[in-house]
Amino acid sequence: MTLKTSSRQTIRLPCQMQAKRILRQAPLRFSPYAWAKLLYMRDLRSTEVGAFGVSKVGDLLLIEEIVLVRQHCSEVTVKFEDSAVADYFDDQVDQGRSPEVFARIWVHTLDFQGWS
């Protein structure tokens, strides 16, 4: 969080500085399997596709799995079906996973081919 005390002075709170330090030390990573799956989804269609990233227990910034749920997609939007998200959460809890492992990271594709 940043507070402005005047037009010239900005105070950075410790929590913001600590978050930046953590981000520099621990980037988001993908297992080869998860990365290949994400690239496959990107190249399969000309629409954007969204999915949940499932992290490794004990290393929450390592994505081991990409899980699709029913969704409506266009070239630039993704809308998950509410019932599909609820079913996904139920399935993950039934497998013994906690929300910080399966619900924190949302990934999506982006098609750069049409960009100039």
Q: Tell me what the pLDDT averaged over the chain comes to.
A: 83
110 contacts: CB under 8 Å, gap ≥ 6: 42, 48
Highest mean pLDDT of the ranges 24-33, 69-78, 92-101: 92-101
Q: What percent of the chain has pLDDT over 90?
A: 53
Q: Tell me the mean pLDDT in the region 104-113.
A: 79
Within a domain: residue 10? no
Within a domain: residue 72? yes
Residue 17: which pLDDT band, with cuts at 50, 70 and 90?
Answer: low
pLDDT score of 116: 45
HEC readout, the chain: CEEECCCCCEEECHHHHHHHHHHHHCCCEECHHHHHHHHHHHHHCCCCCEEEEEEECCEEEEEEEEECCCEEECCCCEEECHHHHHHHHHHHHHCCCCHHHHCCEEEECCCCCCCC
Within a domain: residue 84? yes
- Total number of domains in the chain: 1
Residue 95 and residue 83: Cα distance in Å, rounded? 18
Within a domain: residue 104? yes
Boundaries of domain holding 86: 27-108
pLDDT at 2 exceeding the cut of 60: no
pTM of the entire structure?
0.71
pLDDT at 5 exceeding the cut of 60: no
CATH of the domain at 44: 3.40.140.10
